[in-house]
Structure 1
Amino acid sequence: MLGVALFVLSSTTVQLWAQGSLEDYERSKNLRGRFRNKVVMAEIEPNWEPNNQRFWYRHSLPGKKWKFMLVNVNKPQPYPAFDHNDLAEKLSQATGNKVDAKKLPIERLDFTDQENIIQFYIEQQTWAVDINNGNLHQITSETNVRRSEQLENTLRSTQHTGKETYITFHNETEAMVQLLWVDHNGHQRCYASIPINQEHQQHTFVGHIWLLMDSKKRHFGIYEAQSHNTLVVVSGEPLETNPISTNNQATQTETILSPNGNWLAWIRQKNIWIRDENGKAFQLSYDGNQDHSYSQDSIHWSPDSKKLVAIRKRNAEEHLVHTIESSPNDQIQPKLHTFNYLKPGDHIEYQQPRLFDIRSTKNIPIASELFPNPWSITHLRWAEDSSEFFFLYNQRGHQTQRIIAINANSGKSKSVVEEKSNTFIDYSQKTYLNWINGGHELIWMSESNGWNHLYLYDVRKKQLKNQITDGRWVVRKVEYVDEKKRQIFFQASGIYPKQDPYYLHSCRVNLDGSNLVFLTEGNGTHTIQWAPDRKFFVDTWSRVDQAPIHELRRARDGELVCKLATANWNELIQSGWQIPQRFHAKGRDGETNIYGIIWRPTNFDQAQKYPVIENIYAGPHGAFVPKSFNEYYDQQEIAELGFIVVQIDGMGTNWRSKKYHNFCWKNLKDAGFPDRIAWLRAAAIEHHEMNLNQVGIYGGSAGGQNALSGLLHHNEFYKVGVADCGCHDNRMDKIWWNEAWMGWPISSHYEDNSNVTHAKKLLGKLLLIVGELDRNVDPASTMQVVNALIEADKDFDLLIIPGAGHGSAGTSYGKRRQKDFFVRHLLHKEPRWSKQ
Structure 2
Amino acid sequence: MIRPTFFLLALGALLISSLSAYTQQQKPLASYYPDSREVSESYQRAARLDSSLKKAVFKSYVVPNWQLTHNAFWYQNKLKNGHYEYIFIDAAKGEKRPAFDHRKLARALAEASGIEHDAAKLQLNELVFSKDGKHLRIKEADNWFECDLSSWACKKVENQDYSRYEPARPLQRRRSRWMHPKTDSVSPDKKWSAFVKDGNIWIKPLDGKEVQFTEDGTGARPYGEFFWSPDSKTLVFYRIDPKEEKEVYYVSTSEPGTTRGVLKSQKYAQPGDEFTSYEMYAGRIEDKKVIKVNAEKIDFFGVPELHWRKGNSRYFTYEKVDRGHQRFRVVEVDAQTGNTRNIIDEKTPAFIYEQRIYTRYLPDTHEIVWITEKDGWRHIYLVDELTGKEKRQVTKGNWVVRDIDSVDSKKREIWFKASGMNEGEDPYFIHYYRIGFDGKNLVSLTPDKGNHSVTFSPDRTYYLDTYSQVNVPPVTELRRTADGRRIMEIERTDISALQATGVKLPEVFVAKGRDGKTDIWGVICRPSNMDLQKSYPVIENIYAGPQDSFVPKSFLPASEMQSMAELGFIVVQIDGMGTANRSKAFHDICWQNLADAGFPDRILWMQAMAKKYPQADISRVGVYGTSAGGQNSLGALLFHPEFYKAAVSACGCHDNRVDKQWWNEQWMGYPVGKHYEAQSNVTNASKLQGNLLLIVGEADTNVPPESTYRVVDALIKANKDFDLLTVPGLGHSDGGPYGRRKKRDFFVRHLLKASPPERNSREVVGK
Shift of 1:366: 1.0
**Unaligned segments of structure 2, at least 5 residues:** 1-25, 167-171, 174-179
Shift of 1:441: 1.1
- Equivalent pair of 2:280/2:295 in contact (CA under 8 Å): no
Distance change >3 Å, CA 720–CA 386, structure 1 → 2: same
1:789 corresponds to which letter in structure 2? L
* Offset from partner CA, 1:260-295 (integer Å, 9 cap, x none): 110112334444332213143333334443443455
Relative contact order higher in (CA < 8 Å, ≥ 6 apart): 2
Equivalent residue number for residue 302 of structure 1? 229
Q: Distance in 1 between matches of 2:530 and 2:573?
A: 18
Q: Which among 157, 161, 164 is matched to residue 163 of structure 2? A: 161
Q: Does 1:56 align with 2:74?
A: yes
Equivalent residue number for residue 276 of structure 1? 205
Distance change >3 Å, CA 363–CA 787, structure 1 → 2: same
Q: Does 1:43 align with 2:61?
A: yes
1:161 corresponds to which letter in structure 2? S
Q: Distance in 2 between matches of 1:518 and 1:783?
A: 51
Q: Distance in 2 between matches of 1:386 and 1:64?
A: 61
Q: Distance in 2 between matches of 1:724 and 1:66?
A: 39
Q: Which among 469, 475, 478 is matched to residue 552 of structure 1? A: 478
Q: Does 1:119 align with 2:45?
A: no
Distance change >3 Å, CA 376–CA 103, structure 1 → 2: closer
* Offset from partner CA, 1:87-126 (integer Å, 9 cap, x none): 8899999999998876678765544343x63535487442
Q: Does 1:334 align with 2:352?
A: no
Shift of 1:575: 3.2
Q: Which among 289, 311, 330 is matched to residue 362 of structure 1? A: 289
Q: Distance in 1 between matches of 2:721 and 2:154?
A: 77
2:507 corresponds to which letter in structure 1? Q
Equivalent residue number for residue 831 of structure 1? 756
Q: Distance in 2 between matches of 1:829 and 1:553?
A: 54
Equivalent residue number for residue 243 of structure 2? 316
Equivalent residue number for residue 128 of structure 1? 148
Q: Does 1:409 align with 2:336?
A: yes
Q: Distance in 2 between matches of 1:567 and 1:455?
A: 39
Q: SS of the counterpart of 2:755?
A: coil
Equivalent residue number for residue 438 of structure 1? 364
Q: SS of the counterpart of 1:78?
A: strand
**Unaligned segments of structure 1, at least 5 residues:** 1-7, 130-134, 147-157, 165-183, 186-249
2:130 corresponds to which letter in structure 1? T
Shift of 1:667: 0.7
Distance change >3 Å, CA 786–CA 514, structure 1 → 2: same
Q: SS of the counterpart of 1:438?
A: coil
Q: Name which of structure 1's ranges 513-522 and 261-270 shifts more when overlaid on structure 2.
A: 261-270
Q: Distance in 2 between matches of 1:79 and 1:394?
A: 53
Shift of 1:509: 1.0
Distance change >3 Å, CA 98–CA 328, structure 1 → 2: closer
Q: Does 1:789 align with 2:715?
A: yes
Q: Distance in 1 between matches of 2:477 and 2:231?
A: 50
Shift of 1:638: 2.4
Q: Which among 277, 285, 292 is matched to residue 221 of structure 2? A: 292
Q: SS of the counterpart of 2:266?
A: strand
Distance change >3 Å, CA 29–CA 101, structure 1 → 2: closer
Q: Distance in 2 between matches of 1:417 and 1:479?
A: 22
Q: SS of the counterpart of 1:136?
A: coil
2:555 corresponds to which letter in structure 1? F
Give the alignment of 1:758-773 within 5 angstroms: 758-773=684-699
Equivalent residue number for residue 680 of structure 2? 754
Give the alignment of 1:702-781 within 5 angstroms: 702-781=628-707
- Equivalent pair of 2:382/2:437 in contact (CA under 8 Å): yes
Q: Distance in 2 between matches of 1:60 and 1:659?
A: 45
Q: Distance in 1 between matches of 2:724 and 2:117?
A: 60
Please, what is the CA RMSD of the aligned residues?
Answer: 3.3
Distance change >3 Å, CA 332–CA 119, structure 1 → 2: closer
Q: Distance in 2 between matches of 1:18 and 1:593?
A: 41
Shift of 1:301: 0.5
Q: Name which of structure 1's ranges 65-74 and 559-568 shifts more when overlaid on structure 2.
A: 65-74
Equivalent residue number for residue 387 of structure 1? 314
1:350 corresponds to which letter in structure 2? S
- Equivalent pair of 1:52/1:533 in contact (CA under 8 Å): no
Equivalent residue number for residue 512 of structure 1? 438
- Equivalent pair of 1:77/1:564 in contact (CA under 8 Å): no
TM value normalised by structure 1: 0.79
Q: Distance in 2 between matches of 1:306 and 1:539?
A: 49
2:753 corresponds to which letter in structure 1? H
Distance change >3 Å, CA 544–CA 259, structure 1 → 2: same
Q: Which among 719, 727, 741 is matched to residue 816 of structure 1? A: 741
Q: Does 1:13 align with 2:31?
A: yes
Q: Does 1:25 align with 2:40?
A: no
Q: Does 1:490 align with 2:510?
A: no
Q: Distance in 2 between matches of 1:321 and 1:656?
A: 36
Q: Distance in 1 between matches of 2:121 and 2:741?
A: 42
Q: How many residue pairs are counted as aligned between the two chains?
A: 720
* Offset from partner CA, 1:392-416 (integer Å, 9 cap, x none): 0011111000000010111001001
2:328 corresponds to which letter in structure 1? Q
Q: SS of the counterpart of 1:36?
A: helix
Q: Which among 78, 85, 96 is matched to residue 96 of structure 2? A: 78
Equivalent residue number for residue 572 of structure 2? 646
Q: Which among 32, 52, 62 is matched to residue 34 of structure 1? A: 52
Distance change >3 Å, CA 797–CA 57, structure 1 → 2: closer
Give the alignment of 1:457-472 within 5 angstroms: 457-472=383-398
* Offset from partner CA, 1:357-411 (integer Å, 9 cap, x none): 1233332121125x67645552322222211111100111110000000101110
Q: Distance in 2 between matches of 1:54 and 1:714?
A: 57
Q: Distance in 1 between matches of 2:103 and 2:670?
A: 70
Q: Does 1:577 align with 2:503?
A: yes
Distance change >3 Å, CA 87–CA 323, structure 1 → 2: closer
Q: Distance in 1 between matches of 2:65 and 2:76?
A: 9
- Equivalent pair of 1:376/1:395 in contact (CA under 8 Å): no
Shift of 1:67: 4.2
Equivalent residue number for residue 19 of structure 2? none
* Offset from partner CA, 1:796-831 (integer Å, 9 cap, x none): 223333333322x42233222222221111010122
Distance change >3 Å, CA 348–CA 835, structure 1 → 2: closer
Q: Which among 333, 343, 350 is matched to residue 423 of structure 1? A: 350
* Offset from partner CA, 1:751-770 (integer Å, 9 cap, x none): 22112232232211112222
Q: Does 1:687 align with 2:627?
A: no
Q: Distance in 2 between matches of 1:779 and 1:61?
A: 44
- Equivalent pair of 1:442/1:459 in contact (CA under 8 Å): yes
Q: SS of the counterpart of 2:707?
A: helix
Q: SS of the counterpart of 2:534?
A: coil
Q: Name which of structure 1's ranges 601-610 and 476-485 shifts more when overlaid on structure 2.
A: 601-610
Q: Distance in 2 between matches of 1:692 and 1:145?
A: 63
Q: Distance in 2 between matches of 1:782 and 1:139?
A: 61
Distance change >3 Å, CA 17–CA 679, structure 1 → 2: farther
Q: Distance in 2 between matches of 1:84 and 1:615?
A: 45
TM value normalised by structure 2: 0.86
Equivalent residue number for residue 399 of structure 1? 326
Q: Name which of structure 1's ranges 784-793 and 101-110 shifts more when overlaid on structure 2.
A: 101-110
Distance change >3 Å, CA 89–CA 777, structure 1 → 2: closer
Give the alignment of 1:233-272 within 5 angstroms: 256-272=185-201
* Offset from partner CA, 1:240-272 (integer Å, 9 cap, x none): xxxxxxxxxx9x99x622111101123344443
- Equivalent pair of 1:351/1:374 in contact (CA under 8 Å): no
